Each structure stands twice: as structure tokens, then as C-alpha cells.
Structure 1
Amino acid sequence: MRVCAAPPFAVDAPRVKQTRWRAHDLLRLERLAIAEDEPCWVREAFARAPFAVVRRAEAAAGFVAAGVRGATRSQRFGTWINDQDIESCVSPESLSDVEPLAERAAWPAFVALAALQRAFAGSGLNTFVWGPTGSAGFELATRVPTISASSDLDILIRMPDRCEWATVAALSDLLAQVAQRAGTRIDAQLETPSGGVALAELAAGKSRVLARANDGARLVADPWQPS
């Protein structure tokens, strides 16, 4: 996140492993506690779409790290949500078959999403659990116009078990073909036991890849080895 609020809990408070909500989940909130250092646009953004996106950061018991999205790419605010303020949760995979508003379906990111749905269904890769994140996922969950003509399609693919490099390469090739036909870019992140890993890095055959976890980012040789 571009800006982050001070935690509403003590610096030395024990951090707990969050299992109920995962990075990229969208939380619908009953209320958003005011942070002393929040930007002026946050209240308007929350009134427009009362959601926050779970982010990768450790939190004390009773809280979850999340972020509020504004109307522009520069408007991102990291904050802390009290568990009691969470009304419901929308996961990326629950959005994989959701259709955009009819008047928005022609935007490249949504064209790519529709094509990807068909491509996954018609290939041997249809066993993967996946879904849209970023601006496309946010718009599908909130029904608030969010993407633009230049928006990429961000997706999350859950990969808890070790995957052969040939399958990773096939995934990368499939996404590249769909993106080219749709005229946009598809940025895929794999959710592994070590954290979030870029599909492009893993497909490139690098000896170590960057894994983003709640306790920080690190280079790992094997993303299926829990950090």
C-alpha cells in the first residue's frame, strides 16, 4: 500500500496467524474505524464501496491487515480492520464466473477474463482454483466501476501442492495467448505455502523467486517449502 495507518494495537503485541481471511480477499465492512493519519479521500471511497482488500501483514488478535482502494491508482491506504466490523468476505475464486455489468464487458480486462474462463475450461488446467484480483476483482465484487481501458487483468491461482515446471510453463503460455488476443496484460500470482509468487518468475526457471508472505518478502528456491 502507498500509505499505511499506525496499528491500533501495541507494537509488542503478539501477532497471530490469520487463517479465516487470506490475502486478496475482499471484506465487506459494517464500519471503517477512522485512522488519525488517513488521507482525505478514504471516507468518500468507503462510502462508494464499503470494502477493504486483505493485505499481507501480521496483525494482533482481533485485527486483520487490509487496504482501502480509492478512485485512482495512487489512492491506496493500508489500515487495520477490527474483526467485529467485518460483514462478509468475497474470495477471488468466488469471482471467477461472475460476469461484469453488460455495459462494462467490452473493457479489455473483462474480455481477457471471459476468454480465460473459456480457456481454463477447455484445457487440462481446469483443476486449478483461481480468480480475479486487483481492479477487475474489486469491480466484480462491488459492482462499482473500477477498471479502465488500460487496466491489466490480475489473477490469483492457488497452488498449495508442488507443481511440475512443465505445468507452470503451460499456464504461463496459456495466459500469454489469452492476453495477446484480448489486447491487455494478465498478471498472475501463485499462492504457495511460502506466499505469493509471480507466475512469470517461476516460469522463467529462476533459481530463486520472490515469495511474499505476511511476515515479509524473501527469495526462496522452493516455494512449496513453507517459510
Structure 2
Amino acid sequence: MKHAPRPHDLLRLTPDAPPFEGAPGWVAAALARAPFVVVRRAPPLGGKLAVGVRGSVRGERFGTWLDVGWIEAKFTPEDLRTCEPEPARRALPAFTLMRGIAGMLDDRALRWGPAGSAGFELASGVPAITPASDLDLILRADTPLPRDDASALFDALSQAAQRYGTRIDVQIETPEAAFSLAEYARPQLRVMLRHAAGPRLVDDPWAAS
């Protein structure tokens, strides 16, 4: 891999990857259906990556660690932004919203892509989005994004989500941490910065990273 995996990247496991120790019973079935894990925001353990496995229902989530030798392929949110779901699923609200806002985000020269259920389905081909699903998005911001610009973007994305009959949840990723666009868009409020070392409230997410 050219770049090390980052939080929200989806990793396809090699066919001979061993089972995860201590995993609940549903994990084997989930990985047989779609051999993918998502990179978690947590420190490595003994050189292994922190990853998560998702099951078929919301309550089925399992956190564990993965030896990088068992990674067959990596899919970043940016890789997935140009992927299309199966034709029969294109009309689901989260997917129609993603297509509808692509031009808006590209015009702002932002690096972005889907995470959550949308990202998982686009990477694996296994249905994960439902008619009630939010669209989870990742925005990369290596340098500070002015708060006024963030507020205008949040308003535009929220209005688009209403038009498409769904909701959107946007996370801004700095090189080392992440925070919610919805929180940052509100003036003069501290934001909850999510860092591998743990969460903390900050005024300037880039300085605090």
C-alpha cells in the first residue's frame, strides 16, 4: 500500500486471513458475507491496526486488531466517491443525496467521500444502506477551514439533505484527528476533537491536533 490505512478506510481481508480471537459468533458469518473491516481511531497494538467488523444489524459491531499482512486491498472514502451502487439501489435517498452534492463539494476543491453504511456498500457490494439511512461523509482538511465557510457549507448540505428526504452527517478529518462539521459550523463554540489518544474539547482543531 502506498499510504498507511487511516480511520474510515475499508480493508478487504485476504482469503486466508485467520479468525479474530474472542470474536462473537456473528463475526465469522459477517466476514464470510463481506470480508471487510474498517480502520478505527485507536492506537496500534503490538504493530497491529485497530479495526472494526460490522454485522447485519446496528448492534453488531466488534472492535479488534489486524496484522497488516492480512490486508488484500484498501478503499479510502475518496476512492469510493466515484463508485456507483447496484442499479436497483441507486434511488435510495443516501445515494441520491451523494450524487446531488458531488458538484457542490468538488466546486469547493474539497477532498471527500462516503463512510459508514454507504461506504461499506460501495466497497463491498453488499447491501448496507436502507431507505432510512443517513449519509455519512468524510471531508479532508489538512489546513484550517474558516468557520464562516464551514457554516455556509453545513447549511448548504443540510438543505440538500432535506430536499432528498434524508440526513447527512459530515466529519472533518485533519491529519491527526477529526470533528463534526455541525459542531464547528456553530460560532464561538468549542468542538469535540476525536483523536487516537482520546476525545477532548478544543477551540482550534488544527492547533490541537
The answer to whether 1:133 aligns with 2:115 is yes
Match of 1:20 in 2: 4
Change in CA separation of 1:24 and 1:89 when aligned onto 2, cut-off 3 Å: same
Match of 1:212 in 2: 194
TM-score (normalizing by structure 1): 0.86
Matching residue's letter, 1:179 = A
CA distance in 1 between partners of 2:100 and 2:171 (Å): 18
CA distance in 2 between partners of 1:217 and 1:32 (Å): 32
Aligned residue-pair number: 206
Matching residue's letter, 2:165 = G
CA distance in 2 between partners of 1:220 and 1:29 (Å): 36
Contact 1:194 1:225 in 2 (8 A): no
CA distance in 2 between partners of 1:194 and 1:35 (Å): 27
Contact 2:12 2:35 in 1 (8 A): yes
CA distance in 2 between partners of 1:206 and 1:150 (Å): 32
Matches within 5 A, 1:34-53: 34-53=19-38
The answer to whether 1:68 aligns with 2:53 is yes
C-alpha displacement of 1:167? 1.0
C-alpha displacement of 1:120? 2.6
CA distance in 2 between partners of 1:36 and 1:28 (Å): 18
Change in CA separation of 1:193 and 1:120 when aligned onto 2, cut-off 3 Å: closer
CA distance in 2 between partners of 1:135 and 1:171 (Å): 22
C-alpha displacement of 1:168? 0.6
State the Cα RMSD in Å: 1.5
Aligned mate of 1:181, from 155, 160, 163: 163
Matching residue's letter, 2:27 = V
Match of 1:92 in 2: 77
Contact 1:97 1:117 in 2 (8 A): no
The answer to whether 1:54 aligns with 2:36 is no
Aligned mate of 1:144, from 111, 116, 126: 126
Contact 1:194 1:212 in 2 (8 A): no
The answer to whether 1:81 aligns with 2:63 is no
SS in 1 for 2:207: coil
Match of 1:12 in 2: none
CA distance in 1 between partners of 2:10 and 2:34 (Å): 11
Match of 2:13 in 1: 29
C-alpha displacement of 1:38? 1.2
SS in 1 for 2:25: coil
Which structure 2 residue ranges, 5 or more long, are not aligned? none
Contact 1:55 1:67 in 2 (8 A): yes
TM-score (normalizing by structure 2): 0.93
Deviates more, 1:103-112 or 1:24-33: 24-33
Structure number with higher helix proportion: 2
C-alpha displacement of 1:61? 4.7
The answer to whether 1:101 aligns with 2:86 is yes
Match of 1:156 in 2: 138
Change in CA separation of 1:87 and 1:178 when aligned onto 2, cut-off 3 Å: same
State the identity %. Answer: 47
Contact 1:28 1:87 in 2 (8 A): yes
Aligned mate of 2:97, from 112, 121, 134: 112
Contact 2:202 2:208 in 1 (8 A): no
